Amino acid sequence: MDLFGPLKTSLSTLYDYWWLYLPALLVVGTFSSWLFYRTQQNLLSLRWVVLEVKPPPDVQKSPKIAENIYSALHASYLPVKWKRRFFKGEVPNWYSLEIVSNGGDMNFYVRVKEDTRMLAEHAIFSQYPDAEIKIVPDYVNQLPPNLPTPEYDMFGADLIFTKEDAYPIKTYPFFEEESGKDEFKRTDPLAVLAEVLGALEPGEYIWLQFVIRPTGDAWAKAAQAAINKIIGKEAKAKAGLVGGLLDLTLGQVPTGIASKGAEEEKKQEFNVQKLTPSQRFTLEQVENKVAKYGFKTSIRFIYTARKEMFHRSHIASTIGMFKQLYSNNLNTFKPDGKTMTVAKGFFHHIFPSGEGLFKVQHEFKRKRKIFRRYKQRAFHKKLMILNTEELATLWHLPGIGVKAPGFPRVEAKKGQPPAGLPI
């Protein structure tokens, strides 16, 4: 028996029909290369600014007002037509919202394209009129251009959903419900994060990044699959062109095309009263999520410090902050194992230690890559869809209940003395 017979047959087929597939491969390769080149040229030409946002001293409002910021940013959504993408390399607008602690000082930043700066400033000022916004140098430049180094160690990870995009995370209304409506007693979702960031010592850095891009409503339509899953309705497979033609030939209703009577029958089969309380709750939350504007989102965080003061406990504390955003049957975040700066080497499964070959080199490469992508404000390959309510939970100006040390706020504004006072 010739073990290599199938391989020889495949290679022979490829050789005989090269004239059929090779031109197609060349066309696809040339198209992809050109598109990549034009996109990179366009990205290099963009001018960016970093805005520092300093909260006012007495924010007594719910994070709900931050939803209006994201609704305003969503107004910049304009689908890029293929001609402009192909010839000019244009890409949709995007923003990076960041929470940073440098040695215990907690700061808020927004990185935007220079031509969308006014839109971002107006959106923030409209909800926080007493905030202070100013252009500052990019804080990432205060560290070496490449990490890790002989002096600095680091940890980084992209975060991804544990469930489909349609399932929301635990948002600020849950925190308000748990703590009551009292403005002074309300639990801020960022309170835990503020404690973690405020505990850092000089020479320690934690950077959190939310890279967002407005998107259309296609994701909301796709959420119907999650709704069907909740109510126990099996998704019906679509018949392709061939299957549909075959059904028509046999005098049948094409597969995947239900008659009006069948649709009505399906609707009658579903009764919300048959759902358990848990299922009704989940269904309500999914429907609430898809009712609001959506953003394609990447979440990334980095912890770095000099090697002599590198504390891994800060990594667990930061990840734990995101764990508070979980509620039963809803969504939450987890580190992406493919980008997290912890890796195993080759053939790790046969080594007693479980580490394998070149473990240190693999981790070093991952650290360099995620640090570079943080500085670029690049999107992760696996994007999440977050709506305005979820983003308002993750990035908003904290209320007066957040009193972490090193959390700067705008000083109280000093008014002019009344006219006519005796000198």
Tell me, what's the pLDDT at 179? 60
DSSP structure class, residue 379: P
DSSP-assigned states of every residue in 348-383: GGGSTTS--BTHHHHHHHHHHHHHHHHHHTPPPSS-
CA 67 to chain centroid: 16
Q: Give the separation between CA 163 and CA 161, rounded to whole angstroms.
A: 5
Q: What is the pLDDT of residue 2?
A: 62
CA–CA distances in Å: residue 291 to residues 177, 287, 388, 396: 21, 6, 10, 21
Closest Cα partner for 143 from 367, 378, 415, 353?
367
- Sites in the chain below the pLDDT cut of 70: 1-4, 178-186, 234-273, 346-354, 356, 400-401, 403-409, 411-423
Residue 112 bridge partners (DSSP): 49
223-229-234 Cα angle (round to 5): 110
Give this prediction's pTM: 0.81
Chain centroid to CA 240: 34
**Residue-level pLDDT at 276:** 85
Going along the chain from its start, the domains and CATH numbers come out as: 29-223+292-342+371-394 (3.40.462)
Residue 249: per-residue pLDDT: 40
State residue 250's pLDDT score.
42
pLDDT at 184: 46
Per-residue pLDDT reduced to its tens digit, 233-263: 765 555 454 444 334 344 444 444 444 555 5
Beta bridge partners of 206: 101, 303
Counted residue by residue, the chain has a size of: 423
> 128-167, pLDDT tens digit by residue?
999 999 999 999 999 999 999 999 999 999 999 999 999 9
Tokens, residue 116: 């969308």
